[in-house]
Chain A
Amino acid sequence: AQKVTQAQTEISVVEKEDVTLDCVYETRDTTYYLFWYKQPPSGELVFLIRRNSFDEQNEISGRYSWNFQKSTSSFNFTITASQVVDSAVYFCALSGTNTGNQFYFGTGTSLTVIP
């Protein structure tokens, strides 16, 4: 079974604080892919990052960084020096290799950055 858990439903931070969004996944596939998407208040879903299960290197893109740890089945997302424009709902998703391209989304974490 494939499952993604985002235990944090809502997070509020003050601008310029760092914030980490947690994502824990379950899968029996040995090869799988993890994704993060952002849904700002305007409603569209924006792709942020994809990792495959063989690449555990952490990734940094500007103020965004991702920590992939297979040992704890986690793929956490950190925003450094948060800004008001980071306010959005963030979704973590999992895709296996025998699931017909299906994505399994977490329930999302709503981040509010307070100016």
Chain B
Amino acid sequence: DTAVSQTPKYLVTQMGNDKSIKCEQNLGHDTMYWYKQDSKKFLKIMFSYNNKELIINETVPNRFSPKSPDKAHLNLHINSLELGDSAVYFCASSLWGPGNIQYFGAGTRLSVL
């Protein structure tokens, strides 16, 4: 059983399109995250949600909109895709509270052509 699952694993699309990435966790966690990993492997937090409430919203273009329908799901919608959006996007989850371990999904490799 996959603890944190993301779909799709690969996403190839044209500039200007809109796309979504879905994330689900079955660990019973109440906090979920989206990270972006660029070509140099740098991991940058984008958003975090606790009990469906937005907690962290780093400097991310408005074209990125997270949505958390419930504690077990956090989806990422991207409008008007640009070349610079090409990256690997990771979803993660944890229990709320300092020092709790974040468990990561396998990542979604987004390629914008």
Interface residues of A, Cβ cutoff 8 Å to B: 31-33, 35, 37, 39, 43-47, 50, 52, 89, 91, 95-97, 100-103, 105, 107-108, 110
Contact = CB atoms under 8 A, between A and B. Distances in A.
A44 B106 contact: yes
B51 to A, nearest CB: 12
Which range contains the number of B residues in contact with the other chain? 20 to 34
B102 A103 contact: yes
B3 to A, nearest CB: 11
12 contacts: A33-B99, A44-B104, A45-B107, A47-B101, A47-B103, A95-B99, A96-B98, A101-B31, A101-B94, A102-B48, A103-B45, A108-B42
Count chain A CB atoms within 10 A of each CB in B40, B96, B99 and give the residue with the most: B99
Nearest to A39: B41
B43 A105 contact: yes
B83 interface: no
A47 B100 CA distance: 11
Contact of B40 (A100, A103, A107): A107
A100 B40 CA distance: 26
Given A52-B99, A96-B98, A102-B56, A108 B41 contact: yes
A50 B101 contact: yes
A89 B41 contact: yes
Given A43-B88, A101-B96, 17 more contacts: A44-B106, A45-B107, A47-B101, A50-B99, A89-B41, A96-B98, A101-B31, A101-B48, A101-B55, A101-B94, A102-B48, A103-B45, A103-B102, A105-B43, A107-B40, A108-B41, A108-B43
